[in-house]
Structure 1
C-alpha cells in the first residue's frame, strides 16, 4: 500500500476512534473525514461506514491481545489471568471507542460469520480459556466459553467497574476472572445436567 494511502487510512481510524470515544455512535463519516483532514470521498474509498472503521480499530486492538496471548509463557489459570489483565489494559489504553463497536447481532453469530475483530479476539482467548477449564477440571467450553468471556469482559462493563465502582485495573481483572471461572463451572454443570 502506498505511504499516503496508508497514512490516510491510519488517520481515518484514529479520527473515528477519537470521535466515537467522545460522541458515541452518533459520529458521521463526514466528521471523521474532517478530523482526519481528508476529503469525504477519500474516506469512503477506504471504508463504507464509521462502523467499519471502528471494526478495524477493534481488530487492531484484538491483534495486540493475540500477540500477547501467544507470547505469554504462563499456563492454566495464570495464563487466563495474564491475558485478561492485558485485555483490561488495552481497553483502558484505547478508551471509550472500544465501547462503540457494537452490533445488533449476537457475539456467536458474529463469530460464526467471521467478523474479523471478533475472530482475532476469540483466537487470543481460546488457549487461555481451554487451559483454565482443564485446570478447573471441567470440559473445554469452546465457543460457549468465548461467549461467557465476552459478556463479562465487555469494555462497557470494564469502564463501569473502573469509573463507577472505582476499582483498579488489577482488582477489575481479578474479580472478572473469578466471576468468569464461576460462570464456566456453572455453565459446565448446566450442560452436564441436560
Structure 2
C-alpha cells in the first residue's frame, strides 16, 4: 500500500474508534470521514461500513492483548487473571469503541469461521483458560472456555459492573475469572 493510502486507512480507523468511544455505535461513515479529514468516498474505499472500520480497530486491540499474553511467564489462574486484567484495562482505555456490534451469528460460529478480531483474541486466551482450568482440575473443554470468557468479559458487561454496580476495575478480572471457572466446572462432563 502507498504511504498516503496507509495513512488514510489508519486515520479512518482512529476516527471511527474515537467517535464510537464518545457516541457509541450510532455513528455514520460521513462522520468518520470528517473526523479523519478525508472524503466520504475515500472512507468507503477503505471500509464498506463503520462496523468494518471498528472491527479493524478491535483487531488491533486484540493483537495488543495477544502480544501481552504470549509474552507472559505466569501459569494457570494467575496467567488468566493477568491477561483478563489487561483486557479490562484496554476496554477502559478505549471506551465504547470496544463494544461490539451485534451479529446474527453466535460467538462460536463467528470464531470457527475465523472472524479476525475474534481469532486474535482467542489466540491470547486459549492458553490462559486451558491452564487455569487444568490448575483447578477442570477438563479441557475446547472453545467453550473461550465462549464463556467472551460472554463474561464482554465490554458492555465490564462497563455495567464498573459504572452501574460500582466494582473497581481492578477487582472485576479476579471476580469474573472465578465466575468463569465456576461456569467451566458446571459444564464439565460428569461420569
Give the deviation of 1:147 after TM superposition.
0.3
Partners of 1:87 and 1:102 in 2: how far apart? 20
1:122 corresponding residue in structure 2? 122
5+ long unaligned stretches in structure 2: none
Q: Are residues 1:31 and 2:31 paired?
A: yes
Superimposed CA distance per residue, residues 54-99 of structure 1 (whole angstroms, 9 cap, x where no aligned partner): 1001100000000011000000111111110111111111111101
Superimposed CA distance per residue, residues 95-144 of structure 1 (whole angstroms, 9 cap, x where no aligned partner): 11101443221100110111000000011100001101110112111111
2:94 corresponding residue in structure 1? 94
1:103 corresponding residue in structure 2? 103
The answer (yes or no) to whether the contact 1:65–1:124 under 8 Å persists in 2 is: yes
Q: Are residues 1:192 and 2:178 paired?
A: no
Structure number having the greater helix percentage: 1
Q: Mean Cα displacement is larger for which, 18-27 or 85-94?
A: 18-27
Question: What TM-score do the two structures reach when normalised by structure 2?
Answer: 0.96
Partners of 2:101 and 2:119 in 1: how far apart? 14
Give the deviation of 1:166 after TM superposition.
1.4
Partners of 1:134 and 1:74 in 2: how far apart? 14
2:54 corresponding residue in structure 1? 54
5+ long unaligned stretches in structure 1: none
Give the deviation of 1:4 after TM superposition.
1.5
Superimposed CA distance per residue, residues 1-58 of structure 1 (whole angstroms, 9 cap, x where no aligned partner): 3222121111101111122222222211111111110011111111111110010011
2:137 corresponding residue in structure 1? 137
Partners of 1:54 and 1:100 in 2: how far apart? 8
Partners of 1:176 and 1:101 in 2: how far apart? 22
